[in-house]
Structure 1
Amino acid sequence: MFRAHYINLLQQYSVPLIVGVIAGLVFANVDIHAYEEMVDFHIFGDEAKIFGKAVTVHFLINEIFMVFFFGIATKEITESVLPGGALNPIRKALNPLMGTLGGVFGPAGTFFLLAWIFYGGSGDFGTVANGWGIPTATDIALAWLVARVIFGNGHPAINFLLLLAVADDAIGLGIIAVFYPDPDHPVAPSWLLLVVTGMVAAYAMRRFGVRSWPFYILIAGGLSWVGLVKSGIEPALALVVIVPFLPGHSNGHDLYQDDSYELEHGHPSDESDVREPVGLQHQHAPLDDFEHQLKLPVDFGLFFFAFANAGVAFSSITEVTLIVIMALIVGKAIGITLFSWVGVKLGFPLPEGMGVRHLFVAAIIAGLGLTVALFVAGKAYEDPVFQDPAKMGAVLSAGAALIAFIFGRILKVKDGTDK
């Protein structure tokens, strides 16, 4: 029990991810050449390739391991739209969804504006502007962690922020798929038929009552991954179209979630999977099993993702770094607050007990874009001259936590809910 509790704490507080970021930054600034050799190491030799892609450490992390990261993110999105989920019925989610739109348009607009201010008169504007997708997503785990500290357990602003972050990441996945294809492999739409084949296979397995999630992932997910690789679209998204076919519970409730914990902490199932299963009198749904059995290795695997992607030299800080930071923190804060406020005026109220002051602080917290922002930065820019500063901006967006803490104290958001 002690070991499980200890591991659970490491997961909840995103320790592997944070340690990976720190380790990558330290290693890269001590010996950047050794760091690059490690990340770009060809595990099976220089000649080994998978569908034309060199089998490097970076490839295995970003295009295979991240398949499971985005798969688990998709599980949360899928669960939220089931009856009883946060997005069902849709009316109670309308204000957070309005905020989500602001959390995309605000950062993207800020990014374009600052890119024009700094690079509008140069030939680099088009290249820099291609990074507009970097600040559009929110790091769900870090946002939850910071929100708990600032608002206190059980505050309605926490669930509001988590709902917004889940919807935010759903849009982020779409942005990656549509706007950031593989530059080394021109888009070949005909190969998407293989992705459709994977979806059909997943649907057929569901119809025939297959209850083992590995069959869905290995067969349908494998077809989807190959189809995306060959089509030139980001293969890390392979499970995004497969996971929704995994049979789940109609009430949207995760059987591995302890009800008392959720009521006390206001925290969804994605952070509590190390606890012992409850409700064992029911059969576990494959959708639940998929997350329960993979969440631990994925959470700890984020150490390697962070190490391989956050290792940039501090000397790489440029205007692009500032653009990313401002788009994430300022763009998110303004966009989410404005759009949610408009939602209130249109008749879509904030959750009971949550006021504009809580909304504003939650919007600042949403500027924590670390994981997905790092991933998109690697896709938006091939040239390290732009990629490294953008990644540094994603890392430094962690400053949103300090800013939110300061505003939280000023606005006294921890003093209770608004009536």
Structure 2
Amino acid sequence: MYRVWNYVTNYSLLLILGALIALVWANTDPQGYRHVVEYPLMFNDVVGVDASRWLIAHGSDFGIDGIGDVRRVLTFHFLVNDILMAFFFAVAAKEVWEAVILENGALRGRKAATPLIATVGGMLGPITAYLGLALFLGSDVYDAVQRGWAVPTATDIAFSYLVGRMVFGAGHPAVRFLLLLAIADDAAGMIILAVFYPSGDLAPEMLLVSLAAAVGVFGMCNWLPRRLDRHKELRPNSTWMRERMSFWPYLLAGAISWWAFQQSGLHPALGLLPIVATLPHADRAFGIFSEAEQYLTDLLNHAQQALKHPVEVVLFFFGLLNAGIEFNAIGAATWLVLAGLIVGKPLGVFAFGWIAARPLGLGLPRGMRHADLAVVGVVAAIGFTVSLFVASVAFATGPLQDAAKMGALFSFGAAILAVIAGKLARVQKRN
């Protein structure tokens, strides 16, 4: 029991706590909860939601009927979802980046082919189930909910990892397979957010500012010191940059990139992604979320370790500000999201994983059976964190968004189904 509690503490305890508090709060004092979520921290012209829209939707709740020519309002919700969650996506992007570019990276070569193909199925399956069932329910339902097709495509890395270890044991190859799938799933989710869910009117030319920030900080703080240190065994310039400047230049570049994403119309929570790729990194990967990486001294891993505990706090507030849904909000979108995750995700993962392993001849990891692949699909149906995030950008604040979020919360039921599936499939735990 200690081990299970340790995993929960390391990955998601604060997130769960925030979500539970939000559920209780929203169902006992809904007006007070909404008042906190949309509380205006600052009126300004730089960061925040569109001031005119906020005034129409929430101004009366705070006794505000005019704000002059101010263009933006920094609300509590915007601070967490659009600014602080950028660090959460940066941590996830770090794992994807290392898995793709480093020697022995987990998403490189033949060993990653089957999980990546299974990931495609794990996204197409939920989309098909969601939209197909919406069409079956009628054109009115379909027209209302179609924008939320991406909500059930996500896999929550932390919770799926936790449940996967409980079902398979730490040493089972299916756990590594699951992690590869979840990381690739979230990488695809970031692309979907950027392409299909812009936060405002598109101004793609602003992305040149983000590119300039990334190229500038890479050139000055990464490439140039290494160039000056050629043929110098002690690497004095790189060492000085690492010890004296640390990650501060990259944080400044990240702030510029974040602002550029906001101005471009893309979701600003993705604004740090171009900067992640510019940080000096280790020469090889130890594996996704490997504990050994905490002993590495490269700046990329150092930044991840520095962000670990702050991001856990951010996830608490994310759960607090996004999971506060009244139970009477349950509607068609709830069951569509749940069907996409609980039905579409396992079927898609298993079907595409089987095609990759058998007809395409790519095989499964040694020691993993096709029955284990089916159980992995059930574990991957836990959408929670990213599903909540996508629901918040896919739908406007209101009953439809709340209904979709409720489906994401109900996906926790996949944990129980995964345990049952593991028993039925006679999974042999390996610790």
TM-score class normalised by the smaller sequence: 0.7 to 0.9
1:87 equivalent to 2:100? Answer no
**Scaled by the length of structure 2, what TM-score is found?**
0.85
| Paired letter, 2:218 | Y
SS at match of 2:41: coil
1:113 equivalent to 2:132? Answer yes
Partners of 1:405 and 1:285 in 2: CA distance: 39
Q: 1:373 aligns with which of 368, 375, 387?
A: 387
Gaps of 5+ in 2: 49-70, 226-240
Query: 1:348, CA displacement in angstroms?
Result: 0.8
1:13-24 mapped onto 2 (5 Å cutoff): 13-24=11-22
Q: Assess if the C-alpha contact under 8 Å between 1:103 and 1:332 holds in 2.
A: yes
1:3-402 mapped onto 2 (5 Å cutoff): 9=7, 11-44=9-42, 50=47, 52-81=71-100, 82-88=102-108, 90-118=109-137, 120-122=138-140, 124-182=141-199, 185-204=200-219, 205-209=221-225, 210-211=241-242, 212=245, 214-253=247-286, 268-269=288-289, 272=291, 277-278=294-295, 284-344=297-357, 345-402=359-416
Query: 1:213, CA displacement in angstroms?
Result: 5.1
Query: How many residues are treated as equivalent by the alignment?
Result: 387
Query: 1:415, CA displacement in angstroms?
Result: 5.4
Q: Assess if the C-alpha contact under 8 Å between 2:4 and 2:166 holds in 1.
A: no
Q: Assess if the C-alpha contact under 8 Å between 1:111 and 1:132 holds in 2.
A: yes
| Paired letter, 1:349 | G
Partners of 2:7 and 2:204 in 1: CA distance: 44
Q: Call closer, same or farther: CA 1:195–1:126 in 2, change over 3 Å.
A: farther
Partners of 2:128 and 2:249 in 1: CA distance: 39
Query: 1:191, CA displacement in angstroms?
Result: 1.2
Q: Assess if the C-alpha contact under 8 Å between 1:373 and 1:391 holds in 2.
A: yes
Considering only CA atoms, is the larger Rg found in Structure 1 or Structure 2?
2
SS at match of 1:253: coil
Calculate the aligned-residue CA RMSD, in Å: 2.2
Q: Assess if the C-alpha contact under 8 Å between 1:213 and 1:287 holds in 2.
A: no
Which 10-residue stretch deviates more, 370-379 or 200-209? 200-209
Partners of 1:311 and 1:340 in 2: CA distance: 36
Structure 1 partner of 2:230: none
Q: Assess if the C-alpha contact under 8 Å between 1:11 and 1:300 holds in 2.
A: no
Q: Give aligned-pair identity as a percent.
A: 41
Q: Assess if the C-alpha contact under 8 Å between 1:312 and 1:391 holds in 2.
A: yes
Q: Assess if the C-alpha contact under 8 Å between 1:79 and 1:85 holds in 2.
A: yes
Gaps of 5+ in 1: 255-267
Q: Assess if the C-alpha contact under 8 Å between 2:247 and 2:299 holds in 1.
A: no
Q: Assess if the C-alpha contact under 8 Å between 1:216 and 1:246 holds in 2.
A: no
Structure 1 partner of 2:57: none
Q: Assess if the C-alpha contact under 8 Å between 1:197 and 1:223 holds in 2.
A: no
Q: Assess if the C-alpha contact under 8 Å between 1:213 and 1:290 holds in 2.
A: no
| Paired letter, 2:186 | D
Query: 1:361, CA displacement in angstroms?
Result: 0.6
SS at match of 1:55: strand
**Scaled by the length of structure 1, what TM-score is found?**
0.88
SS at match of 2:280: coil
Q: Assess if the C-alpha contact under 8 Å between 1:96 and 1:340 holds in 2.
A: yes
Cα distance per residue 1:114-158 (max 9 Å; x no partner): 12122x322x52341110111112110101100011111210000
Q: Assess if the C-alpha contact under 8 Å between 2:345 and 2:378 holds in 1.
A: yes
Which 10-residue stretch deviates more, 214-223 or 377-386? 214-223
Q: Assess if the C-alpha contact under 8 Å between 2:160 and 2:379 holds in 1.
A: yes
SS at match of 1:242: helix
Cα distance per residue 1:217-260 (max 9 Å; x no partner): 32221221111111111000011121022111111138xxxxxx
| Paired letter, 1:378 | S
Q: Call closer, same or farther: CA 1:11–1:53 in 2, change over 3 Å.
A: farther
Cα distance per residue 1:274-301 (max 9 Å; x no partner): x9x546xxxx111100101111110232
